[in-house]
Every structure is written in structure tokens, then in C-alpha cells.
Amino acid sequence: MTVVVTCVLVAANAFAATTPEPTDAQRQAFKRAYVAAQQGGDGWKALASGLNNYPLYPSLEAAALTHDLRQLNRAPVDDYLSRYPGMIPASDLRRDFLLELARREDWETFLSLYQAGMGDTLSCYALRAQMSRGATLDFDRDLATLWTRANLPNACDPVITAAHDQGLLTAPRLWARIDRAVDAGQAGTVQSLSNWLPADEMQAGQRLAMALKDPGGAVASAETWPDSPRHRQAATIALERLARRQSTAADNAWQKLQNRFAFSPDQRGRVMVALALFHATDFDEQALERLAALPASMQTTATREWRVRVALARQDWTAALAAIAAMPASQQQDGEWRWFRARSLTALNRDGEARPLLSGLSQEPTYFGFMAADRLQSPYSICPQSLPADPQREQLLLANQGLLRAFELYAVDLQKLARREWTQALAGADPATLKLAADLAYRRGWYDRAVFTFTSGDALRYYEQRFPLASQDGIVPQSEQSGIDPSWAYGILRAESAWMSDARSGADARGLMQLLPGTAALVAKRNGLDWAGGESLYDPITNIKLGTRYLAQMAERFNGAPWLASAAYNAGPAKVDQWLGARSNLAPDLFVASMPYKETREYVARVMAFSVIYDWRLNDKVVPMSERMPPIGQTYRLPDKQTPRRAVTCSVAAPAPAESGSATVPAASSSVDSATSSSP
């Protein structure tokens, strides 16, 4: 084994010696050539002179070929695939050319290039190609896998129609896929498949689609439906969905329908749970009693949690303790419920019972752990860990061509492609290799790799890599100019994008601090800053300049309070105003616990904990969490040299830090979706 390792290291060292780090001049030349290649033709070649040995050179030719796909014949594609087998640009070119061949309906060429496992769209085109030769479909061979999907691309429509025409889509098969689509909330799939059901079953399928699309309309018309199993299913779904939107209307409908249909115990339980849960999120007067009255067999994690939240909002400490006691032991061990159990005991003057809970919780570097330390006036427990040096493994990694391409793609601002190369290069790598790769990325300024790699166990202690201080992006000076705490700005950025500067949400929020272009334009105008359009938000410096000022705007609206401004940043200021109008008498921790949106509760907790960690990284000692969360209506004062700060120590018993509720973005994803969720 020693001989093998030595030989590999010799090869790795030889590679490192003959493959110098690309220069800035090469990278600039590549960027210019890449732009030209994306416009098609051969103009890029002159700009790429001297880049033949540059790691990303194959991407230039692939970009030019991709642009010219509609004019290409097979020869240049085959030539490229033969020269760069296994590379991502080659795989993409094959996929894109196959899509072009399908558009041309050149099915013979398509089949000669097609490879299985390239996704549902190409799978369906391959079946269409086979049918063009006169082949008939076999359900088990051709459709069984596709049939498990709740939704399929449009390319599959002719295949599904052919399967129907061949008599393959029997009623049981149709219902099997309808049920999957119902579970996934795909009303369109349910509607289209229902049209092929036998005449006496078609109406039931259509009413399932209606229950998904228009639950209010469905419950209104359900009084005339027959009492069949499928109609009971549709009525149950409609009632559950209506409860989420209009709990009172759903209650009224349930009173009419519960005896109209012979609902099963499970269906009755589902409706009763939905009604109890969403009356709770509305904080109705009977919410606590309804939740407590649910039989144990009907209770869910959410109903148990909301029983506590409603009790806390009422400041009914005895009810809160009873609700926590009704949770399974594993649920009670969550930091939130340990904190609120201690909080309730303290409010009932049972300090002797509360103190051990607070003591254990205070050893955890989390939102609730920091609040427990504040209550005990004890130091915060943060235990950093350094990555051990492993020069031999590092040399082996630096011989990984795919990883080098990933680093280089990141260096030339092609981050989405970089993440794909990273994922392919490290597929199957052992944990030690992944850790080292993430640290190498961190040292190159590619910070999000560490965030997504160090997600569990002792790896959570790699604070330097997980909470980088990217001074080059100007967070500290821009925060100070905006009049906000830099550690809070860091916490927001870390929670929003996990340091992915190209992050883009489903709502079109962009960049490190996830700003909407429209919001950014208004912030720029208000502050007299230049605005170069939505694409400029992918520039970290621009994003941070505008993001810190928008944070300051939110803080100003809520008396400077970072915790309320954080909630507004996530859920929107109007929604926070609504919650304040209903429960402004609550202490900050109780108010956060009562926020109806699960995402916003977790977001505030995450941002506030991250702010403490960044404060520690910036200043060694930290502003206590209690100072960061002033009571509602009290003005928050920015920390200064006179602000008391709490010491940070490392307790031997301290567990690894957790990121409860933190966003987990797939390594190859190009977006972080921070859209507000209405989930309880």
C-alpha cells in the first residue's frame, strides 16, 4: 500500500509541477472568448489563441456548437464527443443536440446518439423515435418508471396518448397515477388523466382535480355529490385545503358534510387535524381547547407544537407545560421546547426545576442556547475546531482534473457550471476528502462549498469556513455607512444565500442578500446610488451596498430591532405589522414562537444565532442575544465601545452547533428559494 501511495503522490506532484495555476490574463482571455463563442461561429478562436492547454478550453468549443445547433449535422458533434468523453460540456452538447434532433424529428440519428438515463424528456423522445419505426409500447418495459411521476414534461404527451390508444392505460393504472398526482397537488395531471377514466368514474376524478384547484367551490358543491369512496376522498382534500385558507369557512362546511358522507376514521381525523391546526394559526379563541381535545392517535408534530405556541401566546404557562409534556420524548428534546419549558417553569416561580434545563441548553451555540446563557448570565459556549493539515491528500486532490475545472469555472464567474463539476468530481469521495476539498475551495474564496459540506457532527465546528469574513465584499464598511450592525448583516447574508453570489429564488430575489430587482431599484433611488439593473445584483459589492441599506430601511421601520427587521426581511413588513397588531404585548421570544410562518420563525432564529457567531468572529466577545432582541416598542441602540459584551468560552461538554431550519441547497443548484411559506 505504501508503494502505491508513493507512486500516486509522485504522479500528483509531477502534475502539479507541470500544470501551473492559470493566470489572470488567461482568465480574462477565456471570458472574452466565451462571450464570443456563445454568439456562435468561429470568432472565438482568435480570442482563444494560446488557451489550448487552459482547463476550460473545451467549454469554448461546446458553447459555439451549442449556439449553432440548428445548423449542425452530426459530424462536428461526434467529433467533439470523441475528444472529450465523460466531460460535462460533452454531456450537455449530446443532450442539446438530441433535443434539436427531436425537434427535427430526425429519429434515426436521435436513436444512434441517445443514451438511457438522460431524463424524462429524452426518455419520451426515445419512445417516440421507436414508435416512428412502427414499434408498439409495452407498459412494464416502457412506461412503468414514467408512470410513477406525478407530473411529466410535454414531450411525453404523445407517448401517453399512444399508450391510451393501445389500451394500456387501464382504470387501475390511471387511478394509481391520479393518486400520486393528488398527493403531489398536481391538479392538471389529475384533470387530464380523468378524461380517460370509464364514464362512470370520470366525474370522481374531475372532482378530485376541483378539490385541489378550488377547494371552496368543491365543498360548496359537495352536498350534491354521491357518497362514493372517491367522492369522500375529494371532499376530504377540499376540506383540508380550505382549512388552510379559511378555517372558519371550512368549519362551517364540515358541519354540513360530516354526516353527508361516510368518512373513514382516517379521513375524519385528517379534517379535524386541519381545522384544529389552522384555527390555531389564526389564534382563535377555542384553538387551544381544540388542539388539546384531539385524540392522541390524531396528533401530529405540528398539532403538538401549535398547542404550545397558542398557550405561549396566551402566556398560559401551565397550559404550555402540559402541552410540552404531551409531546413524545424525542420532540421534547428539541432546543425550542426545552427553552419554553424552562421559560414556563420560571414564570411559575419554579426556578429550581428550570435551572438544570437552562444550564444544559446554555452549552449549545444556538438561538435558544444563547438565550439560556443570557438568562443564567453565563458565557456563551462556542467551540471552534480547525481542519487538520493533510498535504498528501491535498496533492492527490489537486491532481483531480474535474476539481481543477470546478475551481477554474468559479474563478471565471461560471458558478452554476462550477458546482456541477464539483459534484461530478467528488462523487463517491470519502468524508475526509470532501472536507479537504471544501477547505481548498474556501481558501480560493469559494465559500458556499464549506457551508454545504460541513453540515453535521463535528464538522459544524469549522466556524472559520462556515462563517467566512469576506472583507473584499465590503460588508463591514457598507453596514457602518448604512447604520446597522455588521454582524447582523453577515447573519442575514449567510441565512439568505449561504454565500452563493449567483443565488436566485423562485420569486426572483437575487444575489448574496437576495434582493428583488424592483426593491433594489427603489433602494438605490432612495439612497442616491447607481442602479445598473437586475443583473448587477449578482455582483457581491453592488448587492451588499444595496442589501445593507434595505436592511437599514427595515430596521428603521421597527425601531431598529434586528429581530423584527429580520422577520420583515423574510415575510415582508406588512405581514409583521399584521402580527404586531394582534400580539404586540408579547416578549420577543414568545412573539417569534407565535409567528404563523414556520419559515419565518426558523429564519429569525437562524439569523440571530448567526449574528452572535459573526459578532464573535469579528470582536471575540459578543453582544448578548437579549440586547439584540429588545421588547416590542423599545428602541434598539447599535452596539458601540460602551456596549456590554459577553465572554465566549468552550465547554468540554458543549455539543456541536446545529443550524435548525437552515436552508439546504443542493450542491448543483443555482438558486436559494427564500419565498415565504405559509406552512405552520
Task: For residue 63, tell me if it sits in a domain.
Answer: yes
Q: How many angstroms separate the Cα of 183 from the Cα of each of 29, 178, 180, 234, 656?
A: 51, 9, 5, 12, 37
Q: Which domain holds residue 610?
A: 471-649
Task: For residue 111, tell me if it sits in a domain.
Answer: yes
The answer to whether residues 520 and 640 belong to one domain is yes
Q: How many angstroms separate the Cα of 394 from the Cα of each of 12, 399, 406, 458?
A: 10, 9, 16, 21
The answer to whether residues 520 and 401 belong to one domain is no
The answer to whether residues 606 and 482 belong to one domain is yes
The answer to whether residues 434 and 550 belong to one domain is no
Written as nine digits, the cell of 350 is 419554579
Task: For residue 359, tell me if it sits in a domain.
Answer: no
Per the structure, how many domains does the chain have? Answer: 3
The answer to whether residues 536 and 588 belong to one domain is yes
Helix and strand tally (H, E) in the chain?
38, 2
7: pLDDT strictly greater than 50: no
293: pLDDT strictly greater than 80: yes
* Spatial distance between the Cα atoms of 413 and 538, rounded to a whole number of angstroms: 10
The answer to whether residues 487 and 636 belong to one domain is yes
Confidence of residue 619 (pLDDT cuts 50, 70, 90): very high
Confidence of residue 651 (pLDDT cuts 50, 70, 90): confident
Confidence of residue 652 (pLDDT cuts 50, 70, 90): low
6: pLDDT strictly greater than 80: no
As a three-state string, the secondary structure of 604-621 is HHHHHHHHHHHHHHHHCC
3-state secondary structure of 542: helix
Q: Are 561 and 630 in contact (CB under 8 A)?
A: yes
11: pLDDT strictly greater than 60: no
DSSP states of 426-444 as a string? TTT--HHHHHHHHHHHHHT
Q: Are 523 and 549 in contact (CB under 8 A)?
A: yes
The residue from 115, 132, 147 where one domain ends is 115
- 276 sits in which H/E element: helix 265-281
* Spatial distance between the Cα atoms of 148 and 143, rounded to a whole number of angstroms: 9
pLDDT digits (tens, 9 = 90+) for 517-555: 999 999 999 999 999 999 999 999 999 999 999 999 999
The answer to whether residues 447 and 488 belong to one domain is no
Cβ neighbours of 356 (radius 10 Å): 10
pLDDT digits (tens, 9 = 90+) for 19-68: 678 999 999 999 999 999 999 989 999 999 999 999 999 999 999 999 99
8: pLDDT strictly greater than 90: no
| Inter-axis angle of helices 88-104 and 415-425, nearest 10 | 110
CA dihedral for 403, 407, 413, 415, sign (positive or negative): positive
Q: Are 77 and 65 in contact (CB under 8 A)?
A: yes
Q: Are 84 and 57 in contact (CB under 8 A)?
A: no
* Spatial distance between the Cα atoms of 488 and 566, rounded to a whole number of angstroms: 9
**Strands 648-649 and 380-381, sheet pairing:** parallel
Written as nine digits, the cell of 454 is 460541513
pLDDT at residue 20 in the model: 79
DSSP states of 651-674 as a string? -TTPPPP--TT-----TT------
Task: For residue 233, tell me if it sits in a domain.
Answer: no
The residue from 70, 91, 115 where one domain ends is 115
Q: How many angstroms separate the Cα of 196 from the Cα of each of 154, 182, 191?
A: 18, 16, 10
The residue from 115, 146, 181 where one domain ends is 115
pLDDT at residue 406 in the model: 98
Task: For residue 632, tell me if it sits in a domain.
Answer: yes
* Spatial distance between the Cα atoms of 115 and 126, rounded to a whole number of angstroms: 9
At residue 322's C-alpha, the angle toward residues 319 and 328, to 5°, is 140
Q: What is the CATH number of the domain that holds 491?
A: 1.10.530.10
* Spatial distance between the Cα atoms of 624 and 370, rounded to a whole number of angstroms: 8
- 381 sits in which H/E element: strand 380-381
pLDDT at residue 472 in the model: 83
pLDDT digits (tens, 9 = 90+) for 470-509: 888 899 999 999 999 999 999 999 999 999 999 999 999 9
Task: For residue 213, tell me if it sits in a domain.
Answer: no
Percent residues over pLDDT 70 in the chain: 93
The answer to whether residues 403 and 438 belong to one domain is yes
DSSP states of 300-348 as a string? -HHHHHHHHHHHHHHT-HHHHHHHHHTS-HHHHTSHHHHHHHHHHHHHT
The answer to whether residues 50 and 106 belong to one domain is yes
pTM of the model: 0.91
* CB-based burial, 82-101: b 16+ in 10 Å, e otherwise: eebeebbbbbbbbbbbbbbb
Written as nine digits, the cell of 46 is 482568435
Per DSSP, 222 falls in state G
**Nearest one of 331, 338, 332 to 353, comparing CA atoms:** 338
- 240 sits in which H/E element: helix 229-245
pLDDT digits (tens, 9 = 90+) for 622-639: 999 999 999 999 999 999
* Spatial distance between the Cα atoms of 244 and 246, rounded to a whole number of angstroms: 6
Task: For residue 375, tell me if it sits in a domain.
Answer: no
pLDDT digits (tens, 9 = 90+) for 296-350: 999 999 999 999 999 999 999 999 999 999 999 999 999 999 999 999 999 999 9
The answer to whether residues 405 and 540 belong to one domain is no
Q: What is the CATH number of the domain that holds 414?
A: 1.10.1240
The answer to whether residues 453 and 561 belong to one domain is no
**Nearest one of 203, 141, 205 to 177, comparing CA atoms:** 205
The answer to whether residues 541 and 515 belong to one domain is yes
Task: For residue 400, tell me if it sits in a domain.
Answer: yes
Largest CA distance in the chain: 83
